[in-house]
Amino acid sequence: MTDTPGLRELERRETDLIVRWSDDSEHIITYESLRYWCPCANCKPRREVEQRRNVLEEEISRLRNEKPKAEMVGSYGLKFTFSSGCNSGIYSTDRLHAIATGSPDPDSL
Protein backbone atom coordinates (compact mmCIF):
# COMPACT_ATOMS: atom_id res chain seq x y z
CA MET A 1 0.00 0.00 0.00
CA THR A 2 1.26 3.46 -0.84
CA ASP A 3 1.11 6.65 1.18
CA THR A 4 1.50 8.79 -1.91
CA PRO A 5 -1.11 11.55 -2.10
CA GLY A 6 -3.14 11.80 -5.27
CA LEU A 7 -1.95 14.06 -8.06
CA ARG A 8 -4.18 17.12 -8.10
CA GLU A 9 -2.51 19.41 -10.63
CA LEU A 10 0.49 19.65 -12.90
CA GLU A 11 1.80 23.07 -13.95
CA ARG A 12 4.34 22.97 -16.77
CA ARG A 13 6.74 25.91 -16.79
CA GLU A 14 9.64 26.70 -19.12
CA THR A 15 12.36 24.61 -17.39
CA ASP A 16 10.45 22.68 -14.73
CA LEU A 17 7.03 21.65 -13.56
CA ILE A 18 5.12 22.05 -10.33
CA VAL A 19 3.20 19.05 -9.08
CA ARG A 20 0.42 19.68 -6.59
CA TRP A 21 -0.90 16.84 -4.48
CA SER A 22 -4.18 16.07 -2.73
CA ASP A 23 -2.55 16.69 0.67
CA ASP A 24 -1.95 20.33 -0.44
CA SER A 25 1.81 19.82 -0.80
CA GLU A 26 3.59 20.89 -3.96
CA HIS A 27 6.99 20.16 -5.43
CA ILE A 28 9.12 21.28 -8.35
CA ILE A 29 10.69 18.79 -10.77
CA THR A 30 13.15 19.97 -13.41
CA TYR A 31 12.73 18.53 -16.88
CA GLU A 32 16.33 17.36 -16.71
CA SER A 33 15.52 15.32 -13.60
CA LEU A 34 12.34 14.01 -15.20
CA ARG A 35 14.34 12.81 -18.22
CA TYR A 36 17.03 11.24 -16.04
CA TRP A 37 14.49 9.20 -14.06
CA CYS A 38 12.63 7.94 -17.15
CA PRO A 39 11.25 4.50 -16.21
CA CYS A 40 11.36 2.95 -19.68
CA ALA A 41 13.16 -0.30 -20.46
CA ASN A 42 15.92 1.61 -22.27
CA CYS A 43 16.67 4.32 -19.70
CA LYS A 44 16.27 2.45 -16.41
CA PRO A 45 19.16 -0.02 -17.02
CA ARG A 46 21.41 2.91 -17.89
CA ARG A 47 21.26 4.05 -14.26
CA GLU A 48 22.43 0.71 -12.83
CA VAL A 49 26.17 1.22 -13.48
CA GLU A 50 28.03 4.43 -12.67
CA GLN A 51 29.73 4.74 -16.07
CA ARG A 52 26.42 4.35 -17.90
CA ARG A 53 24.77 6.85 -15.50
CA ASN A 54 27.44 9.39 -16.36
CA VAL A 55 26.88 8.90 -20.09
CA LEU A 56 23.11 9.25 -19.61
CA GLU A 57 23.58 12.48 -17.64
CA GLU A 58 25.87 13.87 -20.36
CA GLU A 59 23.36 13.01 -23.08
CA ILE A 60 20.54 14.69 -21.17
CA SER A 61 22.63 17.79 -20.51
CA ARG A 62 23.13 18.21 -24.29
CA LEU A 63 19.39 18.10 -25.01
CA ARG A 64 17.40 21.30 -25.24
CA ASN A 65 15.66 22.02 -21.94
CA GLU A 66 12.11 22.23 -23.21
CA LYS A 67 8.57 22.04 -21.92
CA PRO A 68 7.16 18.60 -22.82
CA LYS A 69 3.63 17.71 -23.70
CA ALA A 70 2.01 15.89 -20.75
CA GLU A 71 -0.90 13.46 -20.96
CA MET A 72 -2.65 11.23 -18.48
CA VAL A 73 -2.35 7.48 -18.95
CA GLY A 74 -5.54 6.14 -17.42
CA SER A 75 -5.50 6.67 -13.67
CA TYR A 76 -1.99 5.18 -13.50
CA GLY A 77 0.25 8.12 -14.28
CA LEU A 78 1.61 10.49 -16.90
CA LYS A 79 3.46 10.32 -20.20
CA PHE A 80 5.75 13.21 -21.14
CA THR A 81 6.62 13.86 -24.77
CA PHE A 82 9.75 15.88 -25.55
CA SER A 83 10.71 16.90 -29.10
CA SER A 84 14.06 15.09 -28.65
CA GLY A 85 15.35 12.31 -26.44
CA CYS A 86 13.38 9.45 -24.92
CA ASN A 87 9.58 9.61 -24.87
CA SER A 88 8.81 6.02 -23.88
CA GLY A 89 8.42 6.23 -20.12
CA ILE A 90 5.13 6.26 -18.26
CA TYR A 91 5.56 7.87 -14.85
CA SER A 92 3.30 6.51 -12.13
CA THR A 93 2.12 9.03 -9.57
CA ASP A 94 4.20 7.13 -6.97
CA ARG A 95 7.30 7.61 -9.13
CA LEU A 96 6.57 11.30 -9.73
CA HIS A 97 6.17 11.78 -5.98
CA ALA A 98 9.46 9.97 -5.31
CA ILE A 99 11.27 12.16 -7.87
CA ALA A 100 9.62 15.31 -6.51
CA THR A 101 10.49 14.58 -2.89
CA GLY A 102 14.10 13.67 -3.65
CA SER A 103 13.90 9.94 -3.07
CA PRO A 104 17.41 8.52 -3.47
CA ASP A 105 16.14 5.78 -5.80
CA PRO A 106 12.80 6.22 -7.59
CA ASP A 107 13.65 3.01 -9.49
CA SER A 108 13.05 1.00 -6.32
CA LEU A 109 9.27 1.53 -6.51
Domains of the chain in sequence order: 7-103 (3.30.2020.30)
The Cα 24–Cα 85 span in angstroms is 32
Nearest-CA neighbor of 17 among 30, 35, 33?
30
pTM score of the predicted model: 0.92
> Tens of pLDDT along 21-50?
999 999 999 999 999 999 999 999 999 999
> Tens of pLDDT along 48-92?
999 999 999 999 999 999 999 999 999 889 999 999 999 999 999
Residue 70 CB contacts under 8 Å (≥ 6 apart), including other chains: 10, 12, 17, 78, 79, 80, 81
